[in-house]
Amino acid sequence: MDFAALLPPLALALQARARCADTPCGEGRLVWRLWGEGEPLLLLHGGSGSWLHWIRNIDALVALGRTVVVPDLPGFGDSASPPGGEDADAVVEPLRAGWCELQSRFGWPGPVELAGFSFGGIVAAFWIDRYPQDLRRVVITGSPGFGFSHAQRTALRGWRHLPDAAQRMEVHRHNLRVLMLHDERAIDAQALAIQAVNTPRDRMGRRRLAATAVLRPIFEQSQVPVCFAYGAQDVLYAAGYDPFRQWIATLPRQEGLHLIANAGHWAPYEQPEGWMRAAMLLCNIT
């Protein structure tokens, strides 16, 4: 399928302005896209996603004078699958190796500031665990893996068996509504197009870590400053944020839990300005 033909106008415009770079990944390549000039800021997308998860944030971050660096994570989008497995812990090694290569290629000093959305936040946590020296500050947005979310309670529907494109699009709309976005008005043509482009290219079908508390000991020992920026109406935290907030308060280098009003799980898309205030300015990433 020609996924480029499905891209919405903003994605086409951003892609036309992007600088692209490849680094090795398993039997193929890891694809990176870069915008802007200045100190790099690394963004990691969510599960069943690609760089398109950050489509409404890239220009605003470039306007802050940053080089915005967004890979398609191994196993998603245009990037090859990682050689070591099909969950976040297998993504870190090819991702980190690629990042080190880009640092050398572009002359970027380390460490870097990083924001990870959902699955990307889980990847960021494993990066912190293995290579904390690489990271100056991390923003976690919407990620499960702490034992406080309900990652298995969303009634997602399958779509791959459906022969009709209109039926598949209705399933995409349903899945965006029950998991990703709080306000149904946010499920616009752009969001639907992104879902239709991203989900068929998800090759990481054995993701299980999100339903565990595997990330807790990582952050309980980490000395990397971390900020948590979550949608106030994220369905994964529908039971409430109090236990999560209380746990965050015990961490050695935490910079708080900031809830983004009128936003669900995909807060950087649904409320991009609110996410910028919470995640970027709260952490003095300017």
pLDDT per residue over 2-40, tens digit each? Answer: 667 789 999 999 999 999 999 999 999 999 999 999 999
* 280 or 142, which is more confident: 142
* 3 or 112, which is more confident: 112
Tell me the sheet residues that pair with 116. 44, 140
What pLDDT score was predicted for residue 281?
Answer: 60
d(CA 268, CA 57): 7
Amino acid, single-letter form, for residue 5: A
* pLDDT higher than 60, residue 283: no
* 124 or 2, which is more confident: 124
* pLDDT higher than 60, residue 86: yes
Domain segments of the chain: what residues? Answer: 3-281
The residue among 152, 159, 160 whose CA lies nearest residue 174 is 159
d(CA 173, CA 115): 26
d(CA 244, CA 230): 11
The H or E element containing residue 92 is: helix 88-106
pLDDT in tens, 172-222: 999 999 999 999 999 999 999 999 999 999 999 889 999 999 999 999 999
What pLDDT score was predicted for residue 151?
Answer: 59
b or e along 184-201 (b: 16 or more beta carbons within 10 Å of the residue's beta carbon)?
eebbeebbbbbbbbbbeb
- Rg of the chain over Cα atoms, rounded to whole angstroms, equals 17
What pLDDT score was predicted for residue 196?
Answer: 94
The residue among 104, 128, 136, 145 whose CA lies nearest residue 21 is 104
d(CA 71, CA 91): 12
3-281 CATH: 3.40.50.1820
pLDDT in tens, 152-167: 566 889 888 888 888 9
The percentage of residues in the chain with a pLDDT greater than 90, rounded to a whole number, is 86
* pLDDT higher than 70, residue 133: yes
pLDDT in tens, 240-267: 999 999 999 999 999 999 999 999 999 9
pLDDT mean across residues, the chain: 94
The percentage of residues in the chain with a pLDDT greater than 70, rounded to a whole number, is 95
What pLDDT score was predicted for residue 153?
Answer: 63
Provide the whole-model pTM: 0.96
* pLDDT higher than 90, residue 66: yes
